[in-house]
């Protein structure tokens, strides 16, 4: 129900189609996993699944002003290495005449509940794209427009299957300065394809239950971007996870990304442990399905892509996105 206050009509985002969700029916409209995941996946994964990484809303309006009003799930608006604009902020992009998405403004949250008027760019945008927070959840989100202007939500094209990415803190978006600069968000914008972000900070540990959750989704293909979280776990979990996912979705391609190192000291120990297993699985018949994507050169040679030796700053995110775009394009062409 839209609510009118001070000539602004507030549209409840829960009633709009939220893109980037793997499951339509969720406990909160801003959750990334369905209710049955609670108690099935590890508690840490469930908690992180309530962060809105990758979720976004696309709409049209002719309004010259766009407002947002939010109630965030957690009072911790930022992390020591990631500002509130990225952890808890909303990013507005506009689609220009050439079909390119361009950044307009961030909600710059200073409080768990707040309001922001996006400063517009003085040009007409065909569509708007509103990214939800990377490392916080929402209990309420509303988009406010002057009452004479309509909000026309644009749902995802259901005929296009999403790419499903399972991964780490970096996958989830740490430490992008705002939601739009997370690498998979950049790649999805540039490729104009749906991506489901199942990055779970520090918790991309390949429990067998996660393979079952992933297999519930009718993916275009799967990207397993989680090696960084697999220190000491590769031997035990990597093969059973891939086998289970493959058994449940035998026709789906599975892409494993290489573990990164900001110094380009590759392969890392984790990659060195995983690669023989990938090769074994390929040798045993998964050659048409399973591929390994190296990251050599991805982060450049200047060592400036990280904040704390692990998590990417926006430079790292942009360089990763460039590699992702090329890589995803290749698999999109195959599917």
Using CB under 8 A, list all residues that contact its own copies: 77-85, 102-106, 108-110, 119, 121, 175, 177-178, 180-181, 186, 262-263, 302-304, 306-309, 313-315, 318
Query: CA separation (Å) from 220 to 18, 252, 266?
Result: 19, 7, 29
For the bound state, the minimum distance from the C-beta of residue 297 to its own copies, rounded and expressed in Å, comes to: 17
| Shorter beta-carbon distance to its own copies: residue 29 or 109 | 109
Kindly state the smallest distance separating residue 279's Cβ from its own copies, in Å. 28
The least distance separating its own copies from the CB of residue 80, rounded to whole angstroms, comes to 4
Do 172 and 197 form a contact (C-beta atoms < 8 A)? yes
First to last CA, the chain: 39
Nearer to its own copies, 127 or 177 (CB): 177
Q: Which residue number, 19 or 189, has a Cβ lying nearer to its own copies? A: 189
- Bridge partner residues of 117 (DSSP): 67
CB closer to its own copies, 28 vs 96:
96
- Closer CB to its own copies, 24 or 309, in the complex: 309
Q: Report d(CA 238, CA 217) in Å as an integer.
A: 20
How far is the C-alpha of 138 from the C-alpha of 26, rounded, in Å? 13
Which of 26, 313 has the CB closer to its own copies? 313
Shortest Å distance, C-beta 209 to its own copies:
32
Residues 299/305, Cβ–Cβ less than 8 Å: yes
- How far apart (Å, rounded) are the C-alpha atoms in residues 72 and 137? 6
Distances (CA, A) of 88 to 138, 182, 311: 9, 13, 17
Q: How far is the CB of 175 from its own copies (least distance, A)?
A: 7
Q: Using the minimum distance from each CB to its own copies, give the nearer residue, 29 or 83.
A: 83
Q: What is 9-50 written as a DSSP string?
A: EEEEGGGSPPBT-S-S--SSTT-SS-GGGBTTB-HHHHHHHT
**From the CB of 106, what's the least distance to its own copies, in Å?**
5
Distances (CA, A) of 222 to 69, 216, 292, 303: 34, 12, 12, 29
In angstroms, the CA 322 to CA 289 distance is 24
Strand 254-257 and strand 290-293: the pairing is parallel
**Is 57:21 a contact under the CB 8 Å cutoff?**
no
Q: How far is the CB of 100 from its own copies (least distance, A)?
A: 8
Q: Which is nearer to its own copies, 72 or 278 (CB)?
A: 72
- Rounded to a whole number of angstroms, the minimum distance from the CB of residue 190 to its own copies is 10
Q: Token match 């992180």: residue?
A: 48
């Amino acid at each position: 129900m839209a609510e009118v206050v001070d000539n602004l009509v507030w549209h409840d985002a829960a009633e709009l189609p939220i893109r980037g969700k793997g499951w339509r029916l969720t406990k909160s409209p801003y959750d990334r996993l369905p209710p049955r995941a609670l108690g099935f996946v590890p508690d840490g994964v469930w908690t992180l699944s309530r962060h809105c990484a990758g979720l976004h809303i696309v709409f049209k309006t002719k309004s010259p002003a766009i407002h947002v009003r939010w109630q965030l799930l957690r009072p911790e608006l930022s992390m020591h290495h990631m500002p509130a604009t990225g952890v808890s902020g909303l990013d507005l992009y506009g689609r220009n005449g050439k079909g390119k998405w361009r950044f307009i403004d961030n909600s710059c949250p200073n409080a768990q509940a707040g309001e922001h008027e996006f400063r517009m760019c003085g040009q007409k945008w065909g569509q708007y794209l509103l990214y939800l927070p990377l490392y916080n959840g929402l209990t309420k989100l509303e988009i406010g427009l002057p009452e004479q202007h309509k909000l026309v939500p644009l749902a995802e094209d259901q005929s296009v299957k999403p790419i499903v990415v399972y991964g780490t803190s970096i996958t989830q978006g740490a430490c992008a300065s705002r939601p739009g600069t997370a690498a998979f968000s950049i790649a999805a914008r540039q490729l104009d394809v749906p991506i489901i972000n199942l990055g779970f900070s520090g918790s991309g540990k390949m429990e067998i239950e996660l393979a079952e959750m992933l297999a519930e989704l009718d993916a275009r293909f799967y990207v397993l971007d989680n090696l960084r979280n697999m220190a000491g776990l590769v031997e035990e979990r990597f093969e059973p996870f891939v086998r289970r996912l493959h058994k449940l979705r035998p026709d789906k391609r599975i892409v494993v990304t290489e573990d990164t190192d900001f110094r380009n000291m590759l392969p890392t120990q984790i990659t060195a442990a995983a690669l023989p297993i990938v090769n074994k699985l390929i040798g045993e018949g998964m050659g048409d399905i399973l591929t390994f994507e190296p990251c050599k050169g991805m982060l450049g040679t200047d060592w400036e892509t990280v904040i704390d030796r692990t998590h990417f700053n926006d430079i790292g995110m942009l360089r990763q996105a460039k590699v992702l775009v090329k890589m995803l394009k290749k698999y999109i062409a195959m599917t």
